[in-house]
Structure 1
Amino acid sequence: MNTKQYFSMALKSIVMATSITAASVSFASTLTVSSPQDPGSWDPIDTFLINWASVSTNIYDGLTYRGPDLKLEPGLATSWQQLDNGTRIRFNLRQGVTFHNGEKFDASAVKFTFDRLMGDEGKKGPQRSNYAAIESVEVIDSHTVDFHLKAADPVLLTKLAGYGAMIVPPKYIQEKGEDFFNTHPVGTGPFKFVSYEPKVDIKLEAYDKHWGGAPKLSNLNYRFISEPSTAVAELQSGRVDLVIPPTIPIGMISTIEKSPELDVVTTVSPSVYALRFNTKNGITKDERVRKAMIYGVDRQAIIDSILGGQASAISSFQSPISFGNDPDMSPLPYDPAKAMQLLKAAGIKPGTKVQIDIRGNDSTFNEVTQAIASYLQIIGLNATIKPYETSVLINDIVPAGKTGEMFQQGWGGWTLDYDNTAYFMYHTGEKWNPYDSDPELDKLLESQRSLTDSKQREEILKSIANYTADRALEMPLYNLNAIFAVSKKVKGFVPVPDSRMRLNNVTIE
């Protein structure tokens, strides 16, 4: 070999090595996301939390899928037909799909998933009633299933795109057990589980065999950072690439926007916020007191002064993009004189104490609540604010009926259908309704679930919104935009209204 040939081969080796190294770096791309809450379990039937869905939309697939444009499309089912006046739905299943553990996806996995959801295990979580229309799942063949319904459910196809309807692996759960599955999730989604350290992080890696193609990222890490200032500091330092709702306080937006390496991206959201009332105990048992407290708070002033244009007023506990929202409804106006008149009529003495329970890590809502407490002080109520760790408030305090007179409630309304909010907030015996029982309201809620006439359903849902407003079951506050803070190194990120982000097409420089 002469000198020229030697240097030529050496140069080729260097080029090849450089190419391999560059490809490896590209493949080794890791996106780190800051999430404000650890759901505590990764089992689809255990939670309704938005921050569960933000992670698990990447781990699991449903029979249907709803993307950032909010349109329903095929997931693990390639097509479906509604039969027998909507009381039977036939799903044709995608072939060649495997779970992350190598287990085959087929009709038996679908049946197992819904038998489990509607059985004893499902009773332990909040998801079961959302799918109450399902009577049974029948396996027709290995890639065809029929859902037999007790009555038509016009929202069911959307519900199958999220939360409790995510398809799980039968053999894995049977072999490993429920407790192990809670902390070692396995699905068919674009990313598979690597590790989970409670209240610290969950780490995922690309599942190259995903039916939709391999993700562009190789790793996807979620860090649980409840303190907004810490999350923003980590974003500024580059140790976090994306901060998801509801972390970013309105007051921090301008700080983030000043950084040339960061962006703030917002989009309309189904998320609404309210202070709900204890209608069973204390002074808020009286409807006059509840209405007085609503009249006594200038909610529009709070939106204008604290939320910086990132929210809009609501008259019922749903967003403007929710099916069932009544645009003709108006929030009760700010009228402190009317408020004091109602309190006097109810026999409430000036200085009477009321307690407001909130999530301690939600700095924006904390500021909102401080303003509300000040307004209540003006009408003669001494409001104290009691912060809780989020998981404690939503898992231990609210469902057990251990709150004060008012308590924070945020709701994603991810189906964009008021039924998904109203049924769980107001129907007797539901987890998020620890105090109230109203037979007339129960009948209204139940009556619309079996209707296939969308116009008729919409009218009933509007009547439910007006009925609950008349009874003053909560103080409706605002519909807040979904606010994301993202590094400019992140490419292909699309903000989604419901925060159910599938990040398989995202890249990072």
Structure 2
Amino acid sequence: MTIMKRGLLSAAVALAMAGTAFSGPALAAGKLTLSSSQDPGSWDPVDTFLVAWAAVSTNIFDGLTYRGPDMELVPGLAESWEELDEGKRIRFTLRQNVAFHNGEPFNAEAVKYTFDRLLGEEGAKGPQRSNYIAIESVEVIDEYTVDMKLTTPDPVLLTKLAGYGAMIVPPKYIEEKGEDFFNLNPVGTGAFKFVSYEPKVGIKLEANADYWGGAPKLSELEYRFITEPATAVAELQAGRVDIVIPPIIPIGMIPVIEADDNLEIVSVPGPTVDALRFNTRDGITADPRVRKAIIMAVDRKTIVESILAGQGAEIATFQSALSFGHDPELAPLPYDPEAAKALLAEAGVAAGSPLQIDIRGNDATMNEVAQVVASFLQMVGLNATIQPYETNVLLNDIIPQGKTGAMFQQKWGGWTFDYDNTAYSMYHSGEKWNPYETDETLDEMLESQRPLTDRAERERILKEIGAYIADRALELPLYNSNAIYGVSKRVQNFVAAPDNRLKLTDVTVE
């Protein structure tokens, strides 16, 4: 039977995060091997947006704040903080007696360096800087106090500081070794230290016995990059992998794992949503009538029930029900193939018109979903073909450069659980994930909600943004999927994270 869990921080982790530094190292034992479907290619926090990066690097790096599987925000490298000047300045009191893995001390200068770098030339090369543009500067008050000055209040900033680009990095190490070296040899303050990295193969970590939050109970972590779902499951069955990290397990393989007495499925509702977004610049999908026709031609409810086997939910906008800004009253366009045919005829689309759907080649579930979508589109007179790409190629070249077909897969974690993080990245002019649209009205709406401290007003605008995007039919919203882990029963104290950000300090193996 599939185990449905809502992640909760263990008492030990919560105490360590919210309390004082650990008093001494403990002897760690045991190796845990995890399968991840993607090699991020760089371990620098400013270089990435990938959930696959966070699944590993949550154990290497720390932020000023920390958000665990229970979604509660607690102290990280900052012991406390207070908002000043009506939210335009945040003062952080930093944790003392913390060292980076290379022995370099963590202090206020490291925090300032991290954000100067993120907001400077190096950060400009990656996708993370736009999440932190509310930060004007970081000023050192004393060795363990910093002030973060904001151009405008950012209601999501404290959550953003718990992940990705805001992870604190070692100034001297980076300056001495260089950016390229740091990309491949990461150093943080986290519970595990970097050992080795082989591109496309895996990364190995060892326990940081001096971790401020308490020494890990494991001695080693190994992440293997296994792109083929069947291979990942086979390695789990053979005992060469202990945990398969989402989203690689196909729905059809869940019964195989459940049938093995040594394995279990751990499934938790998460933020990840899937959509087929439209090329709104070229071809027939430049016409909003065609886009709406395509949406109405596809029976999304059947896809969720049949292909996902209920491991997800239909969505009306590109966000989960857990997202701040989600509007439960906004219904998706109905499945109505006759109305779809009428709209296509009104738009002058000829029967048999070709349409290409670009997807991640190693996403077995989406491969199946895309085939079903193509069948639905054929029934209304469109000839859809599927073009699979290697994931990094699709994400780093095809989509950002505006070289997609008529439709392209977008999978988004929405790790802040706030619609702004998704909507600004997907729809604001000039953003990496928006290669086709320039919409001044939408830009103004997106910008207007960012500085608001009135939670209700901000939620109202986010709902309006969702409705506006749905009306313009910028994507075919498909589903919000559960985070599905395959886990060996030799693994103890494992807590599944909805956003794949697994902190493995308390895990043991039998």
Describe the superposition over 1:412-439 as per-residue Cα deviations: whole angstroms up to 9, x where unpaired.
0010000000000000000000100100
- Structure 1's unaligned 5+ residue stretches are 1-25
- The whole-number CA distance in structure 2 between the counterparts of 1:169 and 1:307 is 43
AA at the equivalent of 2:417: L
Asked if the contact 2:275–2:478 (Cα under 8 Å) also holds between the matched residues in 1, the reply is: yes
| Secondary structure of residue in 1 paired with 2:394 | helix
Larger Rg computed on CA atoms: 1
Describe the superposition over 1:298-324 as per-residue Cα deviations: whole angstroms up to 9, x where unpaired.
111111111101010000000001000
- The whole-number CA distance in structure 2 between the counterparts of 1:27 and 1:290 is 55
Asked if the contact 2:28–2:216 (Cα under 8 Å) also holds between the matched residues in 1, the reply is: no
Offset, 1:28: 3.8
Are 1:254 and 2:258 an aligned pair?
no
Are 1:88 and 2:89 an aligned pair?
yes
- Structure 2's unaligned 5+ residue stretches are 1-26
Moved over 3 A (4+): none
Offset, 1:33: 0.2
- The whole-number CA distance in structure 2 between the counterparts of 1:136 and 1:91 is 13
Offset, 1:27: 3.8
**Residue in structure 1 matched with residue 24 of structure 2 by the alignment:** none
| Secondary structure of residue in 1 paired with 2:277 | strand
Are 1:423 and 2:424 an aligned pair?
yes
- The whole-number CA distance in structure 1 between the counterparts of 2:36 and 2:92 is 34
AA at the equivalent of 2:249: I
Paired residues in the alignment total 484
Describe the superposition over 1:228-282 as per-residue Cα deviations: whole angstroms up to 9, x where unpaired.
1000000000000000100110000001000000010000100000000001111
Offset, 1:213: 1.1
Asked if the contact 2:28–2:215 (Cα under 8 Å) also holds between the matched residues in 1, the reply is: no
- The whole-number CA distance in structure 2 between the counterparts of 1:482 and 1:301 is 20
- The whole-number CA distance in structure 2 between the counterparts of 1:257 and 1:413 is 29
Offset, 1:333: 0.6
AA at the equivalent of 1:37: Q
Are 1:402 and 2:364 an aligned pair?
no
**Residue in structure 1 matched with residue 502 of structure 2 by the alignment:** 501
**Residue in structure 2 matched with residue 366 of structure 1 by the alignment:** 367
**Residue in structure 1 matched with residue 488 of structure 2 by the alignment:** 487
Are 1:289 and 2:290 an aligned pair?
yes
| Secondary structure of residue in 1 paired with 2:90 | strand
**Residue in structure 2 matched with residue 12 of structure 1 by the alignment:** none
Are 1:208 and 2:226 an aligned pair?
no
Q: 1:27 to 1:209 in 2, by over 3 A?
A: closer
Alignment of 1:270-349 (within 5 A): 270-349=271-350
Are 1:467 and 2:468 an aligned pair?
yes
| Secondary structure of residue in 2 paired with 1:240 | coil
- The whole-number CA distance in structure 2 between the counterparts of 1:447 and 1:359 is 34
**Residue in structure 2 matched with residue 457 of structure 1 by the alignment:** 458
Q: TM-score, normalised by structure 2?
A: 0.94
- The whole-number CA distance in structure 2 between the counterparts of 1:323 and 1:45 is 25
- The whole-number CA distance in structure 2 between the counterparts of 1:34 and 1:247 is 9
- The whole-number CA distance in structure 1 between the counterparts of 2:166 and 2:273 is 23
**Residue in structure 1 matched with residue 414 of structure 2 by the alignment:** 413
- The whole-number CA distance in structure 2 between the counterparts of 1:378 and 1:230 is 35
AA at the equivalent of 1:226: T
Are 1:193 and 2:194 an aligned pair?
yes
**Residue in structure 1 matched with residue 8 of structure 2 by the alignment:** none
Offset, 1:286: 0.5
Are 1:220 and 2:221 an aligned pair?
yes
- The whole-number CA distance in structure 1 between the counterparts of 2:133 and 2:406 is 31
| Secondary structure of residue in 1 paired with 2:205 | strand
Offset, 1:129: 0.3
AA at the equivalent of 1:71: E
**Residue in structure 1 matched with residue 391 of structure 2 by the alignment:** 390
Offset, 1:196: 0.2
Describe the superposition over 1:26-85 as per-residue Cα deviations: whole angstroms up to 9, x where unpaired.
844000000000010000001111110000000000000001110000000000000101
AA at the equivalent of 1:258: A
- The whole-number CA distance in structure 1 between the counterparts of 2:301 and 2:321 is 16
- The whole-number CA distance in structure 2 between the counterparts of 1:311 and 1:160 is 28
Alignment of 1:224-243 (within 5 A): 224-243=225-244
Asked if the contact 2:40–2:50 (Cα under 8 Å) also holds between the matched residues in 1, the reply is: yes
